[in-house]
Structure 1
Amino acid sequence: MTSSTLDYNLCRSASVLVVDDESGMRSFLQKALQKHFGLVEVAGSIDLAEEIRRRCHFDLLIVDVKLPGRSGIEWHEALDDPNRHSDVIFMTAYAELDTAIQALRVGAADFILKPFRLEQMMNAVMRVLKRRQLARENFLLRREVTRYLESETPMLGNSNSIKRLEAVIRRVAPTPSAVLIEGESGTGKELVARALHQHSGREGPFVPVNCGAISPELLEAELFGHTKGAFTGADRAREGLFTYAAGGTLFLDEIGELPLSMQAKLLRALEQKTIRPVGSEREIPTQVRILAATNRKLSEEVKAHHFREDLFFRLNVLTLTLPPLRDRVEDLPQLAHYFSRKLSSDLGLPAVPFTHDDLKAMQSHSWPGNIRELKNFIERCILLGHLPLDELIDDEDDQNLGAGYPSCWPLEEVEKRHILRVLSACEGNKSAAARQLGVARKTLDRKLVSWMETDISAPMLMDIDEP
């Protein structure tokens, strides 16, 4: 089999156990497979093979049907184990139909007659491993469908910072180098990670994991997998996300949240390119590209002894710093129109048109939540049927009654905002607010009631009055 037909990443991350009572066949397959696969073990009997299998999980079992003691088809511990499933290729020198039927009934992935050429065996192995990879990808697709819907926003913008970012992504995406993505919350760090994977040409899946959303006690098992009985509640063995990402990209979001003890284990996995499932004594080779993201400055975290310096240097091959939305306001109109079209379609409601003054008001806002905040704001506009422009006054301006109002606001919006500010300054006392505003108390009451009836987002007003 030529090297061009082999998927290098898929092979290096796979583990294989060969079971045959002929020492020559064991030696032949071990030498051939070790050139391409991460872990290859051999055994001369089912009993010995089961001892090895209990210590280490194997992706593939290549088993001779005729063996001393028990035949390969009678290896029930492996064939009937729902918790540590391995694909099986049976070998036999006897071309009997009944044997082939038995092999298929116990779940054989393939069946090869002896003698065979090495190319035949390698083709069978690759077919099995690719089917296994497809099953993993289907699992991840089901697991990530909700997250995908949340992160399907394309990378939009014509600002210089976005153009530079896109150029760097195209340049570094095909490389295996680790990339650290820094930026405030809501700037689109996962979007950049997905773009790096999509342009990488890697055949494996993109596997995201939020390091801050998983309890420290379960994080190691989530990343590296675990054996049955490794801890309370581990009623079956499970592969980790490193394994599911084989040949692809593992995205470690909010990596600054990793506890120090887990940082040491992650560093070893990255340097050795192996993982050890919780409860296992054996290490499994892994071949993944690592992308990491954080809303913290990891260099500052290192100085504060909250993050390991050696892990930081291992991840910091290349750092991409995402600009906050306030530093790329020229991209805001394009983003606003995109979210308006998409969300109105998703919600089944008409889009809210933006005037030039509306966009200017949005561009003057600081957007501390960045693109995520903008998306939520546009969704709120569509639900309400209008733009709640009072939300676009930043807190520091809101505290200064003499700061004025945006010139784009209509007169009725200015009146509403001013009345609510005065009422708030009077701590909800309507009579005092009416006197300060120079209007009758009944006039103030009438306006407040009308706002409550027409705007479901209006604040609940306290009915405080003077004695």
Structure 2
Amino acid sequence: MNAPDPTLSTHADEHWPRASVLVVDDEPGMRHFLEKALAPRVGQVFTAGSAEEAELLLQQHRIDLVLLDIALPGKNGIALLKDMRAQGIGAEVVLITAFADLETAIEALRAGAGDMLLKPFRVTQALGAVRHGLERAQLRRENWVLRRTLSQRTPPADGLVGQSIVVKGLQAALRRVATVDSTVLLTGESGTGKELAALALHHLSPHAAGPFVPVNCATTAPEQLEAELFGHSGRGPGREGLLIDAQGGTIFFDEVAELPLALQATLLRVLEDRRVRPVGSDRAIPIDVRIIAATNRPLIDDVRSGRFRADLFYRLQVVEIKLPPLRAHKEDIPDLVAHFIDTLAPRLGVPPIEVTADEMGYLRQYDWPGNVRELRNLLERSLIVGALNVSALYQSLPRPAPSRPAPAPAAAPTDLHTLEKRHILAVLESVGGDKTQAAQLLGISRRTLERRVAEWSQA
């Protein structure tokens, strides 16, 4: 075939996603032509002259798109495509044919082809088909990751807001670590913002252009987690596993201490080999992924008890960053309160609330066992109610001893119990005395509400 010069294409200066493409054609001239056209635009181009050569390359490399001639010696292109799908290879496929009849087109679509090129074709047609195929592959991967993330993810804790020395030190540590490719272990109590810290590491790193894929090891059933992470040979396109979906980006293992021992061994092999072997498959797929893990309990204790592999622990703990509890930087509470009100009110479609100086003083007295997440949840409930819902925190604190009542304040009341009484009575009044509705708005039980009111009536 006398192929046109691929350097004449106007596509050369356009932005192309980095990808690996496999050209399968028994004509050396066609292979050379397509390789020359694609090499300056994508990351890697492999070529094969037969289905058997192509199968070997598909076993050895992760391929994003295959340009596949139907008329091959031995096994034809459609048969190869069917075998690829049966083995769980989800690469996009553009078929090349010199005979475009309806029956062939239907068979190709059913087998999983995304497009067809009719010989002879112009270089712009080939480049357009490849570009569109890579865009489809990227979109499918991003949609899968997004759907899974939205189905499992809780709202971020926004724990990096603040001007305290503690938070500034954390921000500096994240910036310093982000520039290297080492595995990072984030530790700290629940609600301190470990996922947000992982996101910050991702966005500040060379992997920022790739996806951020969170995996909660505690919320996915162990029998599903292996296929979710590593893929499965029986899966269709786009279900090659989250480690492959995170290619070029970051994967975040939250609550990594909950990872079953059998999967710990598999993850260790991935860390050592930088290759993923889908369940039920013999092929090992190379990956380029930044790995971040997090735990809310001392992982070394699980190592000592035999619940966590020591070798995996040391591979994850190349760099360890501890996130501080909120009680260690209470001076950041006003900034956090302002941040949550500003971001949550528009999302909820409600007006912002005003937090008085007295109420802010109380918030700074509380120890926040649930950390920044607890503060965020309190403010979300308060925005729904329309005022700071201090009664929710009141239930977490010990009641004052009746034998030693606090003296009446000389100025405006600032103690929690007075704030709670004033708030509950205001909510009751706003709903016309309906205790069931008031209890729902306050986030407490009707029995608790009735007990509070009874106590106040006897005082």
Bucket of the pairwise TM-score, normalised by the shorter protein:
0.7 to 0.9
C-alpha distance 7-346 of structure 1, shift in aligned 2 (>3 A): closer
SS in 1 for 2:321: strand
**% of aligned pairs identical?**
38
- Per-residue CA deviation, residues 426-467 of structure 1 (Å, 9 max, x unaligned), is xxxxxxxxxxxxxxxxxxxxxxx979489534615479xxxx
In the TM superposition, residue 22 of structure 1 has moved relative to its aligned partner by: 5.7
Q: Where does residue 376 of structure 2 map in the other structure?
A: 375
Q: Where does residue 182 of structure 2 map in the other structure?
A: 177
SS in 1 for 2:300: helix
Q: Where does residue 303 of structure 2 map in the other structure?
A: 302
SS in 2 for 1:320: strand
Q: Where does residue 9 of structure 2 map in the other structure?
A: none
* Higher alpha-carbon deviation: 350-359 or 188-197: 350-359
Contact 2:90 2:236 in 1 (8 A): no
Larger radius of gyration: 1
- Counterparts of residues 192-231 of structure 1 (less than 5 Å): 192-202=197-207, 203-228=209-234
Residue identity matched to 1:151: P
In the TM superposition, residue 210 of structure 1 has moved relative to its aligned partner by: 0.3
Aligned length: 416
Does structure 1 residue 167 correspond to structure 2 residue 172? yes
- Counterparts of residues 388-403 of structure 1 (less than 5 Å): 388-393=389-394, 397-398=398-399, 400-401=401-402, 402=404
C-alpha distance 204-55 of structure 1, shift in aligned 2 (>3 A): closer
Q: Where does residue 65 of structure 2 map in the other structure?
A: 60
Contact 1:252 1:291 in 2 (8 A): yes
Contact 1:161 1:328 in 2 (8 A): yes
Question: Separation in 2 of the partners of 1:276 and 1:80?
Answer: 16
Residue identity matched to 1:347: L
C-alpha distance 57-180 of structure 1, shift in aligned 2 (>3 A): closer
- Per-residue CA deviation, residues 270-315 of structure 1 (Å, 9 max, x unaligned), is 1101111111122111111101111011122222222111111111
Aligned counterpart for 1:133 among listed residues 126, 132, 138: 138
Residue identity matched to 1:211: C
SS in 1 for 2:398: helix
Question: Separation in 2 of the partners of 1:412 and 1:178?
Answer: 44
Does structure 1 residue 281 correspond to structure 2 residue 285? no
Q: Where does residue 436 of structure 1 map in the other structure?
A: none
* Higher alpha-carbon deviation: 197-206 or 348-357: 348-357
Question: Separation in 2 of the partners of 1:267 and 1:252?
Answer: 13
Residue identity matched to 2:314: F
The CA RMSD measured in Å over matched residues stands at 4.8
Question: Separation in 2 of the partners of 1:416 and 1:289?
Answer: 47
In the TM superposition, residue 236 of structure 1 has moved relative to its aligned partner by: 8.7
Contact 1:180 1:293 in 2 (8 A): yes
C-alpha distance 27-259 of structure 1, shift in aligned 2 (>3 A): farther
Residue identity matched to 1:339: F
Q: Where does residue 250 of structure 1 map in the other structure?
A: 251
Q: Where does residue 187 of structure 1 map in the other structure?
A: 192
C-alpha distance 331-64 of structure 1, shift in aligned 2 (>3 A): same
Q: Where does residue 266 of structure 1 map in the other structure?
A: 267
Question: Separation in 1 of the partners of 2:408 and 2:342?
Answer: 26
Question: Separation in 1 of the partners of 2:352 and 2:310?
Answer: 49
SS in 1 for 2:307: coil
Question: Separation in 2 of the partners of 1:153 and 1:40?
Answer: 44
Contact 1:207 1:250 in 2 (8 A): yes
In the TM superposition, residue 56 of structure 1 has moved relative to its aligned partner by: 9.8
SS in 2 for 1:207: strand
Question: Separation in 2 of the partners of 1:240 and 1:299?
Answer: 29
Q: Where does residue 156 of structure 1 map in the other structure?
A: 161
- Per-residue CA deviation, residues 337-374 of structure 1 (Å, 9 max, x unaligned), is 22223333333333331111111111111111111111
Question: Separation in 2 of the partners of 1:185 and 1:51?
Answer: 47
Gaps of 5+ in 2: 1-5, 7-11, 425-431, 455-459
SS in 2 for 1:341: helix
Contact 2:157 2:373 in 1 (8 A): no
Contact 1:38 1:284 in 2 (8 A): no
Contact 1:361 1:392 in 2 (8 A): no
In the TM superposition, residue 145 of structure 1 has moved relative to its aligned partner by: 4.1
Question: Separation in 2 of the partners of 1:272 and 1:247?
Answer: 16
Residue identity matched to 1:68: P
Contact 2:190 2:371 in 1 (8 A): yes
SS in 2 for 1:398: coil
C-alpha distance 78-262 of structure 1, shift in aligned 2 (>3 A): closer
Gaps of 5+ in 1: 229-233, 421-448
Q: Where does residue 350 of structure 2 map in the other structure?
A: 349
Residue identity matched to 1:279: G
C-alpha distance 405-454 of structure 1, shift in aligned 2 (>3 A): farther
Question: Separation in 1 of the partners of 2:182 and 2:415?
Answer: 56
- Per-residue CA deviation, residues 245-285 of structure 1 (Å, 9 max, x unaligned), is 00000011110101111101100011101111111122111
TM-score (norm 1): 0.72
Contact 2:31 2:47 in 1 (8 A): no
C-alpha distance 303-116 of structure 1, shift in aligned 2 (>3 A): farther
Q: Where does residue 72 of structure 1 map in the other structure?
A: 77
In the TM superposition, residue 72 of structure 1 has moved relative to its aligned partner by: 3.4
TM-score (norm 2): 0.73
In the TM superposition, residue 70 of structure 1 has moved relative to its aligned partner by: 6.2
